[in-house]
Chains A and B, each alone.
Chain A
Amino acid sequence: MTDNLFFADNTVLVNFGHIDRLDVLERVLNGRGRWCATVASECFRSSRVEGLAALRRAPAIFGDPWFPETPVERLDVLVFRDRLAGPGDPPHAHLGEAETIALMARRNVSGFVVTDDRGAARIATHSGIKVIGTYDLLRLAGRVDIISPEDLLRAVVTLRQKGRGGPVEVNDLPSLHRWMAKR
């Protein structure tokens, strides 16, 4: 089995869609990006939202989606979905993250969940899966020159303006460089 696969959830894909930089995501994942079938469905639906057409490129990055193949894997998804859910959540919320964590855990996948959902991050960690988020990938992309500092700053500001979180200390190029040097 290939080591170090990176399973994205839709929160991260949407972020790269908002900044229209799926090219950066593709290059930084370096052929190690994967996704589950429910995330692929969510991404397809998101690609129809105005401003997120860039997401149509995602299948070329993540390839054929991974499906739950056995009843045990399908039931695992229900268990993880319950763990991720909260009162008032829509009935299908969290299925993408649940499917991702369930398949990675059940198949002993060596790799990372790529998510900005704090709850999903904690539950993946509890299941022994490493977790990174949008800004880990963006910072690394900046450090290996996949994205210029100017474009990275623009991306951070855009995401913040869209309420997608991000490093609050980054406001200009000097603060961006300090943030990039942190880790």
Chain B
Amino acid sequence: MTPDALSRSLNGTRSFSSIELAMIAEVLGVDVYWLITGRENPSRLVLFARHTFDRDTREHLVSSHLDNESVLQDVALAYRQAFGDHPVEPAPLPSTAREVRDMLGADFVRCFADRVEERLGVDVVRIPGLTTAYGLEVLGRRVIVLDASGNWFRQNFSLAHELGHMVSRTPSRDASGSLGTADEAPANNFAAELLLPAAVLREMTWMELSVEELARRVWDWGVSVAALRNRLDSLRIPYSAVIHEWCAPGRTTQRLLRRGGCGEGVSERMAAAVERKFPLRLQVAHLEKIASGEITASTLAWMYGLTEDELDIDVPQAGAVSDDSLAAALDLSL
């Protein structure tokens, strides 16, 4: 944009093009919607990030947030395309881990993501390319985005942690729009209580524990040995040396599970944890809008991990214009 054009646009003798507005918003670090209207964008992305704790600086950091940002924006785009004309008020969530456990039902951790969607109305997306999990809100819809890493127990904890943020409503984007250092303790406590309830742990015996028993408990709860140990430490429950041994460097939860006879299920859980996952209602909304010609199929193809050409679905074709009609519209004689 030339200085003259900018000057004329600012004094009202020339308008701004869309590309100019987008670039001005980028330079100023503001939302283009705000630039146009002076109001907050109703379809803005509100983030609840899972932070990594830096023991040296004692800060909670979101590593590689810039790398993750584009994936999150793609997820938000998918929601705007599907539901942009139907924003909703976020449904109320229960306020304690116990209430959430009750709503999720028995053995929820085996199908954690599905239960969260069905019973809490919080969508769960699983996609590769993230370095951490995120909770976000777009158009009133709550979404938890997990990295498709294959590490199901980390996914479980991340899912529980993000639920904790949503329950306590602690968005970690500060007023300037940058990712802040939200207090992670309540979300971590919520996750621990959801997955490893204190009352249940206190009723169990932890001093005399075989490797097989430890493996079975870790398997049933869907957590890592380290997470279990941390929980027992925080609850000041004394426990067997077996747990210490399986938290030592080089010992992994997967190895414990294989040793403890859960090996066959490990592959199954890992396979499920690397699968791309998008909520069915999001996919259905895309299919309907693609069929009507309202949106393109590129986002649905991305959800499936395909190219648009590989996605074999019906799309409306633009009606062909005959040469006769075209010539007539252009005042040309055939």
Contact = CB atoms under 8 A, between A and B. Distances in A.
Interface stretch (B15-23, B100-108, B157-165, B237-245): B15-23
Nearest to B290: A122
Contact of A41 (B14, B17, B316, B327): B17
A79 B317 CA distance: 21
Contacts of B200: none
Interface in B298-315: 298-299, 301-302, 308, 315
B198 interface: no
Contacts of A79: 84
Interface stretch (B32-40, B55-63, B213-221, B251-259): B32-40
B294 interface: yes
Nearest to B23: A92
B17 A87 contact: no
A98 B36 contact: no
Contacts of B293: 122-123, 125-126
A31 to B, nearest CB: 8
A3 B330 CA distance: 10
B323 A74 contact: no
Contacts of A74: 18, 21, 36
Nearest to B80: A82
B151 to A, nearest CB: 24
A163 interface: no
A83 B295 contact: yes
Nearest to A102: B18
A99 interface: yes
Interface stretch (A139-147, A151-159, A166-174): A139-147
Given A74-B36, A125-B318, A140 B77 contact: no
B81 interface: yes
A4 B14 CA distance: 26
Given A75-B37, A92-B23, A95-B22, A122 B296 contact: yes
A30 B14 CA distance: 27
Contact of B81 (A69, A82, A122): A82
A87 B308 CA distance: 11
A87 B74 contact: yes
A121 B332 contact: no
A131 B80 CA distance: 25
A133 B199 CA distance: 69
Interface in A101-157: 111-112, 118-119, 121-126, 130-132, 136, 139-140, 143-144
Given A32-B330, A74-B21, A88-B302, 15 more contacts: A6-B329, A28-B332, A30-B331, A41-B19, A67-B16, A74-B36, A83-B295, A85-B81, A86-B296, A86-B298, A111-B329, A118-B318, A122-B293, A131-B318, A140-B330
The 9 closest A-B pairs by CB, nearest first: A86-B298, A37-B17, A126-B293, A119-B296, A67-B15, A87-B74, A121-B318, A87-B302, A4-B329
